[in-house]
Structure 1
């Protein structure tokens, strides 16, 4: 396979080769002419993240991981024991301190050596050092790192627990527990973003749940950084899970915090797969997993704020225009206080209503009494001549009774009370005195 003599000539000729031919030539060039190979690497890195990713994927497929076994070996001051797991990015071993100065269970991850064909050892080690600066209770702590037989390794705390999907399959956490768990995961990712580190491979397998039901994030993608602008000199490896990766990550674009936001939205959907329409959790899920960046949460901090609102039954900004939504949130947030306030208002309204009705009743009775008094007075003192002489107490009572019965404005219970009072016998002495008064009144008028 004869190509040009300069790095530029070789670069343009390699563009016509397929992945297999290109990789074979690069491996041969690295052995026969290391200096020219090093000159060629920057040009290959500028070729585009998608082509670099193809080289990476081919390297992973071509590497026989079964030949890669460090079990029971001593690496620096660490004694490896059993293999915990392996994947395309590397292999993880259980380990402990070989010098017996500390009793500490560790996990050591060896990075896939074929990554050196795409990214330099210095770049990988630099990324491992960034992870070591992360200090958060929900992120697996990185203690140390180094190089061993062409591999970069990272020493981490060993987590005793299960993956998130296994945890959900074997336990039935409450809604509050799942929301709190997701809140902790968001806090961990937000901490990483503050230190300019993306996870870039969020999925249930990379979230461990310990015995205290707390999450621990593992397997940060060492080939990803927070990018604030597109720089072709910083290429990234497309290592992700298709079910949880953002559209821009699958397209090979440069990643921002919003890529992790999308993955977090998918994790939230895993926790709450059957949310009813218009629920607050579904609103957060939809916004976090928007394909367009401008429609998605700008940062994990914004997502975390809305999750906190959901936990505390506070209204989301996207739903405040819905009628009575804010009131419903208040009732759910303060159920006891809302019940007591509603009860107090109901008592005040009931008391006010009874008081008003009672006042109306008293006013009505007063008016009726005044009207009846006026009628009786008119009969007794305003009749003239023979009309007055002929009026007796019995006639007055009978006439009054008729007026009471015929009065449509008089309530039934008042009619009954007045008629009952009129049925009381009038003493004979009182009737004689009343008759004398009427005669005297008639005499004076004559």
Structure 2
């Protein structure tokens, strides 16, 4: 019995077999085809949860051995021109309309016949029909589908561009450019989730960036189904990249939207390995091991990316006052600096007025006290038997009192002393007229 047929029969037998039956099948495979058994044993975790998904993954590897070659053929109304890519799921050709009624560049993906046997044509066509309903600028459009020589094929939009990993290597992109691309990818996945479709294989190789620098998502995993409201689970083919797959996907568990969120977090980590604090916080939240600890939806993740681009607080830090203030300053530096300078100017102006007012009050009080002292000296000198005190003597006494007064500020002492040191103008001599002189004589 050949490996490929053994593997195919094995899938169907394991669907309904109990543990003893599975062990018997594995024992028979070990004796008939040790090489296939050893390869299977590396992937198969003998438990109640993982046997089927691991075996299906093994079958996908064997399916790669089947070489599909439809180059140059006409499939339905499509003429296949050249090969675009090949993998375990099948092969993709570039094509155009054979009847030349429309000039349209297309890509046609042929799925391996062995996988069609395992999954069923109806399931594949149902998933393809769901993809055809998606209408988003960042998702490669699905136009048509059919069957050719035992292979299910899907007709899709042909995107002229590089895969995301090649695009990043060729271009010198800023952090803002990368975040903008990532935000568009999130928007596309968000649209798919709204239509109850998981991608289930998000990685740079499954994202093309066209000539307009717009990403296009390709290769939705047709073997994965989103969790229904009834909670039913479908054990489907495991086809993913372990570097970007969530822990639950690697363990063969049923997938939810949080699995795509995990892959998006890994994709962001790939784009920005040396991320700033905000981006790192977003990555850490997206790639939590437990799905319930990740973002609740792609919409929430996308909003945080928009917040980073617009210098707004991200959801995981929105309760930090100083952080939010810093984001406000980043978002509106000119109004903030204008307001800050206005506040400083008002504060300085108010302080200056207050100091000047206090100084005026002090000078007024000192002037009143000095006036009181001078008046007091003049009053007491009139009442004495001695002659009136000369002005020079009064100024000398006042200078001494000013110098010895500890309550007077230094600047006021200087001003008062300067005033007192101003020389008193001499009295002009009045010449008596000749008539008055004669009278006096």
TM-score range, shorter chain: 0.7 to 0.9
Gaps of 5+ in 2: 2-8, 33-46, 429-441
CA distance in 1, matches of 2:16, 2:312: 61
Are 2:313 and 2:327, in contact at CA under 8 Å, matched by a contact in 1? yes
Task: Look up the match of 2:314.
Answer: 316
Residue deviations 1:279-326, cap 9 Å, x none?
111110000000012211111111112111111111123223445111
Are 2:14 and 2:52, in contact at CA under 8 Å, matched by a contact in 1? no
CA distance in 2, matches of 1:9, 1:227: 21
Secondary structure (helix, strand or coil) at the match of 2:143 reads strand
5 Å-filtered alignment, 1:17-28, equals 17-18=24-25
Residue deviations 1:389-435, cap 9 Å, x none?
352211111001111222233333332332222223334549xxxxx
Residue deviations 1:63-106, cap 9 Å, x none?
35463101001000000011111111111001111000011111
Give the TM-score, by structure 1 length.
0.84
Task: Look up the match of 1:152.
Answer: 152
CA distance in 1, matches of 2:247, 2:174: 31
CA distance in 2, matches of 1:425, 1:16: 125
Give the TM-score, by structure 2 length.
0.85
Secondary structure (helix, strand or coil) at the match of 1:61 reads helix
Change (3 A) 1:374 1:192: same
Task: Look up the match of 1:405.
Answer: 403
5 Å-filtered alignment, 1:298-337, equals 298-322=296-320, 324-337=322-335
Change (3 A) 1:336 1:64: closer
5 Å-filtered alignment, 1:105-124, equals 105-124=105-124
Residue deviations 1:7-41, cap 9 Å, x none?
8998457412455956999xxxxxxxxxxxxxxxx
Are 2:138 and 2:184, in contact at CA under 8 Å, matched by a contact in 1? yes
5 Å-filtered alignment, 1:42-61, equals 50-61=50-61
CA distance in 2, matches of 1:244, 1:154: 25
Secondary structure (helix, strand or coil) at the match of 1:15 reads helix
Task: Look up the match of 1:249.
Answer: 249
Task: Look up the match of 1:343.
Answer: 341
Task: Look up the match of 1:194.
Answer: 194
CA distance in 1, matches of 2:385, 2:300: 96
CA distance in 2, matches of 1:230, 1:86: 35
5 Å-filtered alignment, 1:169-188, equals 169-188=169-188
5 Å-filtered alignment, 1:263-302, equals 263-276=263-276, 279-302=277-300
Change (3 A) 1:62 1:413: closer
The answer to which of 346-355 and 408-417 deviates more is 408-417
Would you say how many aligned residue pairs link Structure 1 and Structure 2?
404
The answer to which of 405-414 and 334-343 deviates more is 405-414
Task: Look up the match of 1:165.
Answer: 165
Task: Look up the match of 2:70.
Answer: 70
Are 1:49 and 1:236, in contact at CA under 8 Å, matched by a contact in 2? no
Secondary structure (helix, strand or coil) at the match of 2:23 reads coil
CA distance in 1, matches of 2:21, 2:281: 48
Task: Look up the match of 2:4.
Answer: none
Are 1:49 and 1:235, in contact at CA under 8 Å, matched by a contact in 2? no
Are 1:49 and 1:237, in contact at CA under 8 Å, matched by a contact in 2? no
Secondary structure (helix, strand or coil) at the match of 1:238 reads coil
Shift of 1:275: 2.2
Are 2:54 and 2:252, in contact at CA under 8 Å, matched by a contact in 1? no
Gaps of 5+ in 1: 26-46, 431-446
Are 1:201 and 1:220, in contact at CA under 8 Å, matched by a contact in 2? yes
Q: CA RMSD in A?
A: 2.7
CA distance in 2, matches of 1:254, 1:22: 28
